[in-house]
Each structure stands twice: as C-alpha cells, then as structure tokens.
Amino acid sequence: MKKIPYGMSNFRAMREEGYLYVDKTMYIEKIENLNSKYLFFIRPRRFGKSLFLSTLENYYDINNEKDFEKLFGDLYIGKNPTKLKNSYMVLELDFSGLDTGDRERLEKYFKQNLIDSISSFLNKYHSIFKEINEIKEHIKEKPDIKSIINQLIEEVEKVGKKIYLIIDEYDHFANDIIAMGDSEFYREIVRASGFVRDFYETLKIGTKSVIDRIFITGISPIMLDDLTSGFNIALNVTMDLNLNEMLGFTEEEVVKILEEVGIEEKEREKSLEELKELYDGYLFSAEAEKRIYNPDMVLYYLDSIVRYKKPPRNLIDDNVKTDYGRLNRLTMNEENKALLERIIKEEGIVAEIVTKFSFDRMYDEEYFISLLFYMGLLTIERQEKTRLFLKIPNYVI
C-alpha cells in the first residue's frame, strides 16, 4: 500500500519514501521534442505544477546521474530515456511570497530571492565551480538584477556547462498587485526600465549562451502581453492538446490510485462516484477527450478516507480557497459581478480564451472570463464554431 502524498511536491522524497506517484514522465519526452526550448505552462492553483517541476529537475540534473535508475527506472522515462537526461545544471526560481508592499520592497525581495537561488545553485554544483564563496561575493556586490544574471552566465560559461532554468509561480507577485488594483505599480515593474522587464530581457539574451532551456509555470498569463518585446521567445503550451493530461489525474489514474492507497474494493466504486462529482471535469484543450480531476483535491479527500474512514468535513481544501479572495476583489467591479451571476444562472458562457493578458484590459469581459478559466473556476465544455462554451467544472467549484 502506498502512502498518500497530500501536499507534497518533492519528487525524490516521494520516490524514496514509498509515496504514491502517478507516472507523468512520458510528458518529459513530449516537451523535450517540442519545437521550442522555452515553454510557458499555466494550470490552476494546487494542480501539481511544483511536483512536475521537481520531476524535471531530478531528471535533467547532472548531479543525479548515479540515482537515475533508483528515481526513474520503473517509470516511462526510465525505460525510454531521452538524449538530454542528466545533462544540465538546473537553476530553480520560485517567485511566491515576495513582499508587494511597494516597488522598492518588491525589487529588494526579488533581487534577494534571485541571489539566494543562485547561492543554492552554486552550493549544489560546488564540485564543478571553483571558489564558490568568491563567486557568491561577486554576485552579492552586483547593483542590479541584470548584472547578477550576467555574472552567473559568465561563471557557467567558464565551466562549459548549460543551464535548464525552471521558474515556478512566475506571476505570483503580479497577481497580488493586480488584486490590489494598483495599475501604476504594475506598469512601473514591467515597463521598459522596470526590473521585471530587465530580468526577462537578460534571460532572453542568456539563451544565446548558457541558458539552453526554460520552463515557466504560473496560474495566469498576466505579464505575457506586457513583456512581449522583452521576452518574446516562450511558447505558450497551456492549451496544447498533447499536454491536456500532463497535470492532474485522468479517471483511469484515479481508479488505480484508489487501489494503490488501499481503498477496499467494495468501497472503490462509491469513492470514484463521489470524486467524479466533486473534483472532475477539467478540460484544457477543446480537442481533448479525457477530463481531468484536480489532483490536490483527490489526495485531500482520500487522505481523510484512509485516516478517518470518512470524507473530509469541508469538501474543498483551504489551500485552494486563496483564489477566491482574488475573485471577490475582481467582482467588486459591477460588470464582472453581473457577468458572474449570469454564468451561474445560465450554467456557462460562450467565450474566447485570451492567451495573453494586458493589465489595461484586465476588466474587459473576455479577460475576466479567461481569468476564471485559468483559475479553474470555469472549464471547456465544447467547441461552438470559433468559440468555446465554458462551464463550471464540478460540484465543489
């Protein structure tokens, strides 16, 4: 019987400590074979993004070559390894939890986050770099974000390696600023002289040398439009047909999970019916056929079933509720509030999903509807000519 990895996103720990792991490693091969090396992928909160990034990190990290068989041997990618396995230095950035009190504080915390992440990167590869303490001091002394990244690029060039850059929660601070309704603050950081634009412009330049691959995740495509000229190299694969099932669980996977975590056979059908009604229904491509269960919510529910022999009292995990505060602020706009009421009354709406958000149009109807889709509050029901009919995905939402 496998342990339930509720709340876990550390691939190595899950594999080494006997936790359930649903094999999604075939998607490593799929994304490696895409035409673009620089990918942008959006899913709702608590949908398995951080775990997938951890899987990528463990697969591509040159330090993990000796552990490849232990970590991946029985998985798809272990039996079908790609040519790039264990061939990168992996730099991980996570932009959640930054202080958005004002521009100066955000820039300070952004810069410190970057320095800390690079310091961890240097520690991880201490056997490759010489004099890592000296390198760290050079980086700390740099006056701005652009020069910090350039210093890192220079050091990696010296040792003849390539970087796989992973960015988690790229939009977290931007979403906080938008929720506050501070348009000038937002424009300051993404305009031509803003530090966020500087960051992405420097990464773009870095792709001509040591930054070989980039994978970016978040919960909305905010900043994509506003950063277009500064970072126009990323391919948005959010609604790619072939990646519909990359995160989350299919029904076949849920059936297998019920067995692996020890749900008694006589109880499995009942549990599957409840899980389907509560947490299923997501579709991220109009051409896809398999609907997806929210993985966090499935594990949350099953954790209660296994531990207490009954479903959780609250059917929605508190960790998923954080987006509702943002929704409440957005519906302070009367047009958005009326639109939300219409969607509930009519059980859906015909719309076109916007793939790049501009702050200036954030309160336009099609942008608000698209935001509901990205947040997981609406999902694709069917294609209607050139547009989509979007519906509320399940009972819990």
pLDDT digits (tens, 9 = 90+) for 244-287: 999 999 999 999 999 999 999 999 999 999 999 999 999 999 99
pLDDT tens string 211-253:
999 999 999 998 877 776 668 889 999 999 999 999 999 999 9
Picking from 190, 199, 246, the residue whose alpha carbon sits closest to that of residue 222 is 190
Mean pLDDT of 351-362: 84
Look at residue 19 and tell me whether its pLDDT is greater than 80.
yes
Which residues, including other chains, have CB under 8 Å from residue 369's CB and lie 6 or more apart? 339, 343, 349, 351, 378, 390
- The confidence score (pLDDT) of residue 228 equals 63
Picking from 182, 94, 186, 196, the residue whose alpha carbon sits closest to that of residue 144 is 196
- The confidence score (pLDDT) of residue 285 equals 97
- Residues 38, 370: contact at Cβ < 8 Å? no
CA distances from 140 to 104, 107, 132, 148 (A): 18, 15, 12, 8
Look at residue 323 and tell me whether its pLDDT is greater than 70.
no
Report the chain's terminal Cα–Cα distance, integer Å.
31
Domain boundaries, the chain: 23-243, 251-308, 322-391
Of 1-10, 35-44, 320-329, 354-363, the least confident: 320-329
- The confidence score (pLDDT) of residue 166 equals 99
Q: How confident is the model at residue 385 (pLDDT cuts 50, 70, 90)?
A: confident
Q: How confident is the model at residue 322 (pLDDT cuts 50, 70, 90)?
A: low
Angle, vertex CA 32, rays to CA 28 and CA 37, nearest 5: 130
Picking from 63, 94, 238, 246, the residue whose alpha carbon sits closest to that of residue 165 is 94
Look at residue 17 and tell me whether its pLDDT is greater than 70.
yes
> At the topology level of CATH, where does 23-243 sit?
Rossmann fold (3.40.50)
pLDDT tens string 130-189:
899 999 999 999 999 999 999 999 999 999 999 999 999 999 998 888 877 778 898 889
Q: What is the rounded CA–CA span in Å between residue 65 and residue 88?
A: 11
Tokens of 199: 């960051």
Q: How confident is the model at residue 319 (pLDDT cuts 50, 70, 90)?
A: confident
